[in-house]
Chain A
Amino acid sequence: MRITRAVMKKIIPWLFLTPVIIFIILSWVAPVALTLYLGFTDLSIKNFLAFIRDFFTPEVHITLENFEKIFFGGDPYLPEVLKITIIYVVSVLAINAFYSLILSISIAYFLKHDYLSLFLRVSWLLPRITPGVIYALMWNWFIDPRYGMLNTLLSLAGIPKEMLPQSWLLDKPYSQILMIMVNGYIGASFGMIVYTAAIKSIPPDLINAALVDGANEFQVARHIIIPLLKWPIFFVVAWQTLSLLASYEQILLIWGAGGGGGYAGIARAAGVMVWALYSYSKAFSEYQYGYASAISVVLVVVGIALILIYFKLFGFSRLMAPSKVEV
Chain B
Amino acid sequence: MVKVVLKEVSKYFGKVRAVDNLNLEIKDGEFVALLGPSGCGKTTTLLMIAGIYKPTKGRIYFDNEDITDLPPKDRNIGMVFQSYALYPHMTVYNNIAFPLKLKKTPKHVIHEKVVKVARLLRIDNLLDRKPSQLSGGQQQRVALARALVKEPDVLLLDEPLSNLDAKLRIYMRAELKRLQKELKVTTIYVTHDQVEAMSMADRIAVMNQGKLQQYAEPNILYDKPANIFVAGFIGNPPMNFIEGSIMEVNGEYYFDSGVFKLKIHRSLGEMISSKTEEAILGFRPEHIKLVTTKAPNAIKGIVYVVEPLGRDMVVNIKVNDTIIKALASPEIQLTPGQQIYIILDERKIHFFNKSTGEAIV
A214's partner among B86, B87, B103 (CB-CB below 8 A) is B103
> What number of residue pairs across chains A and B have CB atoms under 8 A from each other?
65
Q: How far, in Å, is A285 (CB) from chain B's closest CB?
A: 51
Determine whether B204 belongs to the interface, using a CB cutoff of 8 Å to chain A: no
**CB <8 Å contact, A224 and B81:** no
B88's partner among A210, A216, A326 (CB-CB below 8 A) is A326
Determine whether A46 belongs to the interface, using a CB cutoff of 8 Å to chain B: no
A212-243 contacts to B, CB under 8 A, are 212-216, 219, 223-224, 227-228, 230
* Size of interface on A: residues with Cβ below 8 Å to B: 20
The distance in angstroms between the C-alpha atoms of A208 and B52, with both chains bound, is: 7
Q: Which B residues touch A301, using CB under 8 A?
A: none
Determine whether B47 belongs to the interface, using a CB cutoff of 8 Å to chain A: yes
The distance in angstroms between the C-alpha atoms of A227 and B47, with both chains bound, is: 25
Q: How far, in Å, is B185 (CB) from chain A's closest CB?
A: 14
A206's partner among B71, B87, B99 (CB-CB below 8 A) is B87
**CB <8 Å contact, B102 and A230:** no
B81's partner among A205, A219, A228, A326 (CB-CB below 8 A) is A205
Determine whether A6 belongs to the interface, using a CB cutoff of 8 Å to chain B: no
Closest chain A residue to B103, Cβ basis = A214
**CB <8 Å contact, B89 and A228:** yes
**CB <8 Å contact, B146 and A213:** yes
**CB <8 Å contact, A211 and B85:** no
The distance in angstroms between the C-alpha atoms of A111 and B193, with both chains bound, is: 37
Q: Which A residues touch B86, using CB under 8 A?
A: 209
B24-68 contacts to A, CB under 8 A, are 47, 50-52
B71-89 vs A, CB cutoff 8 Å, 1 = contact: the mask equals 1110001110111011111
**CB <8 Å contact, B73 and A215:** yes
Given contacts A214-B73, A215-B102, A216-B71, contact A208 B89 (CB under 8 A): no
Q: Which B residues touch A230, using CB under 8 A?
A: 89
**CB <8 Å contact, A208 and B81:** yes
The distance in angstroms between the C-alpha atoms of A117 and B88, with both chains bound, is: 27
Q: Which A residues touch B192, using CB under 8 A?
A: none
Determine whether A327 belongs to the interface, using a CB cutoff of 8 Å to chain B: yes
**CB <8 Å contact, A228 and B99:** no
* Size of interface on B: residues with Cβ below 8 Å to A: 25
Q: Which B residues touch A219, using CB under 8 A?
A: 102
**CB <8 Å contact, B50 and A212:** yes
Determine whether A203 belongs to the interface, using a CB cutoff of 8 Å to chain B: yes
Q: Which A residues touch B88, using CB under 8 A?
A: 228, 326-327
Given contacts A205-B81, A216-B73, A223-B98, contact A211 B51 (CB under 8 A): yes
Q: How far, in Å, is A215 (CB) from chain B's closest CB?
A: 5
Closest chain B residue to A226, Cβ basis = B89
Which of B83, B85, B87, B102 is most buried by chain A, counting CB atoms within 10 A of its CB? B85
**CB <8 Å contact, A208 and B99:** no
The distance in angstroms between the C-alpha atoms of A228 and B88, with both chains bound, is: 8
Q: Which B residues touch A206, using CB under 8 A?
A: 85, 87
B83's partner among A205, A212, A224, A326 (CB-CB below 8 A) is A205
B89's partner among A205, A209, A214, A227 (CB-CB below 8 A) is A227
The distance in angstroms between the C-alpha atoms of A223 and B102, with both chains bound, is: 10
Q: Which A residues touch B77, using CB under 8 A?
A: 212
B85's partner among A208, A216, A228 (CB-CB below 8 A) is A208
Q: Which A residues touch B150, using CB under 8 A?
A: 213-214
B206-235 vs A, CB cutoff 8 Å, 1 = contact: the mask equals 000000000000000000000000000000
The distance in angstroms between the C-alpha atoms of A214 and B98, with both chains bound, is: 9
The distance in angstroms between the C-alpha atoms of A208 and B86, with both chains bound, is: 11
Given contacts A215-B73, A223-B98, contact A210 B52 (CB under 8 A): no
Q: Which A residues touch B73, using CB under 8 A?
A: 211-216
A247-262 contacts to B, CB under 8 A, are none
The distance in angstroms between the C-alpha atoms of A219 and B78, with both chains bound, is: 17
Given contacts A205-B81, A205-B83, A219-B102, contact A211 B89 (CB under 8 A): no
Closest chain A residue to B47, Cβ basis = A208
Which of B73, B77, B81, B156 is most buried by chain A, counting CB atoms within 10 A of its CB? B73
27 A-B residue pairings within 8 Å (CB atoms): A205-B82, A206-B85, A208-B47, A208-B79, A208-B81, A209-B79, A209-B85, A209-B86, A209-B146, A210-B87, A211-B71, A211-B72, A211-B73, A212-B51, A212-B73, A212-B79, A212-B156, A213-B73, A213-B98, A213-B150, A214-B103, A215-B98, A215-B102, A216-B71, A219-B102, A227-B89, A228-B88
Q: A212-B72, A216-B71, A223-B98 are in contact. List 4 more A-B contacts (CB 8 A).
A: A209-B87, A213-B99, A213-B146, A230-B89
Instruction: Sort A-B residue pairs by CB-CB distance and give the 7 closest, nearest first.
Output: A209-B85, A205-B85, A213-B99, A214-B102, A211-B72, A214-B73, A212-B79
